[in-house]
Structure 1
Amino acid sequence: MGQLDQFDREILIRLEKDGRIAFSTIAASLGISNTMVHQRVAKMTEQGILSGIKPILNEKKIGYDWGSFTGITLEKDHNSARIIEALKLVPEVTECYFITGRYTLFLKIVARDHEHMREILYSKIDLIPGIAKTDSIIELGCAFRRNIAL
């Protein structure tokens, strides 16, 4: 994966501020061609630096008032690929991380209310074969969320 130059950084900074900004607007502000912006964005996408430009939903504003961070203990860690595929089928699981320590996986889960959270944990996640235990911490609100500074 190549290094980011100043044009790449400036393009990413502008896209982070407004993912809907026209490439022609970025090009004009940087004094480069529209084609160059398209090529740079395509290259950064191909390299995996830019994984997409999509909306960031505020779950609470659309009825998902509960959130949890849930550690998953597996019966056998070598089952993680199969279990991750099963977790992908649970739409309320919005993030899944490999971690070190007492859990194998760490999830971010969103739910409408406490009954919905219980249903997700007990009727969806706990029934996935190979999951030995879940341990959840209820999220009370996001203080901030951001990308790494460029």
Structure 2
Amino acid sequence: MATLDELDRRILRLFTDDPHIGVLGASRELGVARGTVQSRLNRLQEAGVIASWSPTLDPAAMGYRITAFLTLQIRQASGHGPVSEHLTAIPQVLEAHTVTGDSDLLVRVVARDTVHLQEVLDRVTAHDDVVRSASVISLAAQVPRRTAPLQPGR
């Protein structure tokens, strides 16, 4: 676990609030050397605090208007590996998590429409180790994906 000092927290807040600021802009805003900002960003990335510099894409804007959550029960003898590999090969599977409770995996998928969703569901459940599935369609995100509130000082 990375220990964050005040400068780290300020850098993270700045890039969270304005991802386009760049290292030079951040150094000017923070009043520190450009090299200091870059070395801090490198260290935060190496520590896994900054997980990605990729843009956050909106599936709905890309034509995937339906989001659904699936619960999967899988055969225990094979473990999670084979099903996880199968799910990774399906582009519409955005996430899969091992969970507690009656199910083994919680999977977030997207689809263009309900016909496409059925195709995605059929593909997900086509693996021999998937014993049972259930799905729910998201009507609206009440709290969208976020990480900013986790930052100390927010």
Normalised-by-shorter TM-score class: over 0.9
Partners of 1:79 and 1:32 in 2: CA distance: 50
Quote the residue 2:53 is aligned against: 53
Match of 1:87 in 2: 87
Change (3 A) 1:77 1:138: farther
Structure 1 segments of 4 or more deviating over 2 A? none
Distance 1:88 1:12, change over 3 A: same
**Structure 2: distance between partners of 1:84 and 1:93:** 10
Amino acid at match of 1:18: D
Q: How many residues align?
A: 149
What residue in structure 2 maps to residue 134 of structure 1?
Answer: 133
User: What is the letter of the counterpart of residue 6 of structure 1?
Assistant: E
What runs of 5+ residues in structure 2 fail to find an aligned partner?
Answer: none
Q: Secondary structure at the match of 1:91?
A: coil
The one-letter code sitting in structure 2 at the alignment partner of 1:22 is: G
**Corresponding position of 1:107:** 107
SS, match of residue 79 in structure 1: coil
Is this contact kept in 1: 2:16–2:148, CA < 8 A?
no
Gaps of 5+ in 1: none
Relative to structure 1, the CA distance from residue 38 to residue 71 in structure 2 (aligned partners, 3 Å threshold; closer, same or farther) is same
2:66–2:110 contact (8 Å) kept in structure 1: yes
CA RMSD of the aligned region, Å?
1.4
Other-structure match for 1:39: 39
Tell me the percent identity. Answer: 26
Give the direction of change, closer, same or farther, for the CA distance of 1:70–1:5 in structure 2 (3 Å limit): same
TM superposition shift of 1:99: 1.1
Matched residue, 1:117: 117
The answer to whether the aligner puts 1:68 opposite 2:68 as a matched pair is: yes
Q: Which residue number in structure 2 is paired with residue 24 of structure 1?
A: 24
Give 1:144's aligned residue: 143
Are the counterparts in 1 of residues 68 and 110 from structure 2 also a CA contact under 8 Å? yes
1:6 matched to which residue of 2? 6
TM-score (structure 2 length as normaliser)? 0.91
Q: Distance in 2 between matches of 1:67 and 1:35?
A: 42
State the Cα deviation string for residues 76-135 of structure 1 (Å, max 9, x = none): 16520221111111010111111111111101100000000000111x111112111111
